[in-house]
Amino acid sequence: MSAPLDPERRAELVARLGAVRARLSDASASVGRDPHDVTIVAVTKTFPALDIAGLASIGVTDIGENRDQDARAKIAELAASGWELPPLRWHFVGRLQTNKCRSVARYAHVVHSVDRVEVASALADGAQRADRQLLVFAQVSLDENPDRGGVLPSRLGDLAGDITAQERLTLLGVMAVAPLGEDPDVAFERLATISAGLQNEHPAASAISAGMSEDLEAAVRHGATHVRVGSALLGRRAPNIG
């Protein structure tokens, strides 16, 4: 049974996805990249499970959530719905407290926000209990603002070592959010330099999670492999979750 998505909503999602892909294509072309090398992670916070099903039906299967309780509720709803969906790949993109790590480790495929050893250890413990392997990004602070999360660039090497020491975790690379008020091109150029430094010690950790609806072009120009897109795909309305 297919998901009972309103035809107008489906058409809106199709149009929005087309616009995002066009932006990615233009940004990639400007620096000689293949747009297919960039993964669109649809950030579905505040939007219902039905919209996730709609996205999946048009080819968007990387789904990002930033709250554990919301992710769990939507996963359970989709599992119980009977809707025919392709396999979804769940990304946890919000700040993560250690007391949520065991829960997140049971369903997430990718965690974008590992910024301290306590989180890495707790995720590894949860993954061990769930007999799963997690892919993770080390979140880097580009503005040294602890309220926004992220490890200081000077401490990234230590954190990367802590992550790679955990057999249940695989370090993909770095994640960051452009500082408020800063030119995103400048911010993401700095992140690309940080990423290159990390690869000197961890060659396989070449992925970069950067860029959101407002600044994805700048992120792609500076090597982002994953962009976390919410409003550009789903709109700015606040539908009821259900």
Q: Are 205 and 173 in contact (CB under 8 A)?
A: yes
pLDDT score, position 240: 47
Q: State how far the Cα of 120 lies from the Cα of 126, in Å rounded to an integer.
A: 10
Give all domains of the chain, ordered by start, each with its CATH number. Answer: 7-233 (3.20.20.10)
Q: Which tens digits make up the pLDDT trace of 167-193?
A: 999 999 999 999 988 999 999 999 999
Mean pLDDT of the chain, nearest integer? 94
Alpha carbon dihedral 96, 98, 102, 103, in 10-degree steps, equals -40
pLDDT score, position 186: 97
| pLDDT classification of 241: cutoffs 50, 70, 90 | very low
pTM beyond cutoff 0.85: yes
Q: State how far the Cα of 35 lies from the Cα of 160, in Å rounded to an integer.
A: 28
pLDDT score, position 148: 75
Ranges assigned E (strand) in 62-218: 62-65, 89-92, 110-114, 134-139, 169-175, 207-209
pLDDT score, position 149: 85
Q: Percent of the chain scored above 90 by pLDDT?
A: 90
